Every structure is written in structure tokens, then in C-alpha cells.
Amino acid sequence: MALLTRVANVDQQSFDATVLKSSTPVLVDVWANWCGPCKLVAPLMDAVEKEYNGGLKVVKVEHDANPSLISEYKVYGLPALILFKDGMAVAKREGAISKKMILDWLKENGVALAA
Amino acid sequence: MRASTCSSSVLRPRTTLLTRPRTSKVVKASAENATESKNLEVMRKFSEQYAKRSNTVFCVDKSVTAVVIQGLAEHKDTLGAPLCPCRHYDDKEAEAAQGYWNCPCVPMRERKECHCMLFLVPGTDFAGSDQDITMDEIKVAIEPMR
């Protein structure tokens, strides 16, 4: 089975289908163009997605283009990582963290790596 | 004849070394080459000076530093103040006038908390060891993003 495009950007229009209706948990990375730590976190999103190998969908939402998503999920600090399960935002973390901390945070929130 | 800015009547303590009064007119920069902006040099110098003064260091990945400096310069161009580029604001103009998130922001001044990773406490995650960044380093880092 071909995996769909890894860590694509989603916007307000595709958010419902891609994130809220996803059967797998989804990690959303909210970023902005001149936010330095957002750049730091971007490759970690690719790495996490690869490591989960289908068990976690990872997508990015750009801040400037998606004001209603930003406002709906009350994002203030960037980057923000929001974990969605069954259409609900179950956890949110603001600020850049290391890959290990991301994995630990996902595990704490019930999305562990498959053995 | 000087144009006034919305922020000229707000008194807030300035801890930076930039003492030029903010009465210069706000230039609403179009999307022209921001590397020409004199504010890029202003924010570069400020970052070096403030890191030294606060005993903090730049990120181990200097492109993070460069990107934040560019973001600060861009806000200075468009809003008249270096509003933190790593945040969402409901009203940018109001925030720039109010000052809490103008660099160096209150969390940084009070607790050395810079979530932009511009000023990092030595020895913490992502902290490098430099307190200097050249204009060339900045340009190289931000060019691919223009």
C-alpha cells in the first residue's frame, strides 16, 4: 500500500477530511514563516512520521493562511503541536522540542509506537 | 514634519541599547527585498548586544537565529516595533503598541525565557555557544525562504 504524501500542508478547507475524519491519530504542526523554532521542528515531523510508519499521520498548518483554524484551536505560541484522535484535539503543546520529547509526549497521550 | 506612530504615547521601559526615539514614520514595507531593510541590521546588532548583556547564547543552529532576526526586522518594518515572530496575535498593531511581546519581551526580560530560541541560557537544550551573527550568515539562511 503506497503511503500518501508525507507531512503535507493542510488548510482550512482540507482540514476536516484530512484531520478530523482520519481513522489514525493525527499530529498537526502549526508553523509560521519567520518563526525560527518552527524551522527546527519541521524535519522532526518528517522523522516522527517515518518512525510511526503509518500509525500516525503528520500534517502541517501554516499560520498566516489559516486564521480560523488558529482561532478555533486557540493557538498562540508557535510552533504548536496538536494531537487529534477521532476528530478531537486531545493534546496541545507549544514550543519547539527535541524528537525524543515529541515521541515521549505522543506516548503520554496514548499514541505509542507500534512494537 | 514628523508623522506620529500609534506607539509614541505608550511609555514602556526600554532595556535595549537602541536609544533612538521611535518618532520615525512607520514604513509600510511592501514585499520587496527585506534583506535591504535597515531594520535587519538594526535587529542583528540588537541581538548580538542583548545576548551579551543577558549572558545568553544563540541557537546551535544559527539559521534559527537568522530566521527570527528577519521576523523581528519585518515586524519593525510593518508595525514600527519588533514584535515576537513566534506567536499568533489577535491584533498585531495593538500588541506592538502595548509592548509585552516586543523583543526583548517580558518573559525574556524577567525569566530569560525566549521561546523563539533567539536567546538561550547556556547549557540548555538547543543552546550553541555564539553571541555573534554576521549579516552574511543571516542572508545565507534566509535567502532560500524569500
Question: Which value does ipTM take for this structure?
Answer: 0.88
Q: Taking CB atoms and an 8 Å cutoff, what residues of chain B touch A95?
A: 115
Sequence-ordered alpha helix ranges (H) in A1-115: 12-15, 36-52, 67-72, 99-108
Average pLDDT of B102-115?
98
pLDDT of B9 higher than 70: no
Closest CA to B75 of B92, B59, B90: B92
B33-143 has CATH 3.90.460.10 classification: yes
Give the residue carrying C-alpha cell 519593525. B76
- Choose the closest CB to B61 out of A38, A40, A97: A40
Q: Which residues of B touch A63 (CB under 8 A)?
A: 88
Across the interface, whether the CB atoms of B86 and A77 are under 8 A apart is answered yes
CATH number of the domain enclosing A98: 3.40.30.10
Number of domains in chain A: 1
**A69 CB within 8 Å of a chain B CB:** no
Decide if A38 contacts A32 (C-beta within 8 A): yes
Q: Does residue A1 lie within any of the structural domains?
A: no
Show the cell assigned to B20.
533612538
Residues of A in contact with B64 (CB under 8 A): 36-37, 39-40
Q: Is B116 a catalytic residue?
A: no
What local confidence, expressed as pLDDT, does residue B144 receive? 85
* Average pLDDT score over residue span B54-81: 97
Domain spans of chain B, in order of start: 33-143
Span A18-33, average pLDDT? 96
Mutate to test the interface with B, among A33, A35, A70 (most CBs of B within 10 A): A35
Is the bond preceding A25 in cis, omega lying within 30 degrees of 0? no
Residue A103: give the domain boundaries.
Answer: 8-108
Cα–Cα distance measured from residue A102 to residue A100, given in angstroms and rounded to the nearest whole number: 5
Locate A35 and state its grid cell: 518563526
Contact A40 B86 (CB under 8 A): no
pLDDT in the model for residue A112? 87
User: Who among A33, A75, A97 is closest to B88 (CB)?
Assistant: A75
Q: What's the average model confidence in pLDDT over B45-57? A: 98
SS3 (DSSP) at B85 = coil
Does residue B60 surpass a pLDDT of 60?
yes
**Touching check for A40 and chain B: CB below 8 Å?**
yes
Among the listed residues A19, A27, A28, A38, the single catalytic one is: A38
As a whole number, mean pLDDT of residues B105-117 equals 97
Task: Transcribe A10-21 into DSSP letters.
Answer: --HHHHIIIIIT
Residue B94 has pLDDT above 80, yes or no: yes
Domain-embedded: residue A2: no
**pLDDT (mean) for B22-36:** 51
A3 within some domain: no
Contact B119, B54 (CB under 8 A): yes
List A residues 41-60 in contact with B (Cβ-Cβ < 8 A): none
Element (DSSP H or E) covering residue B48: helix B38-54
Residue B31's pLDDT is: 47
Task: Specify if A114 maps to a domain.
Answer: no
Contact yes or no for A59/A30 (Cβ under 8 A)? no
CA distance A67 to A74: 10
Is residue B63 over pLDDT 70? yes
| Closest Cα in chain B, distance from residue A15 (Å) | 19
Asked if A75 is an interface residue toward chain B (Cβ–Cβ < 8 A), one would say: yes
Predicted TM-score (pTM) of this structure: 0.82
φ and ψ of A106, to 5 deg: -65, -45
Return phi, psi of residue A26, to 5°: -125, 130
Calpha distance B69→B136 (Å, rounded): 13
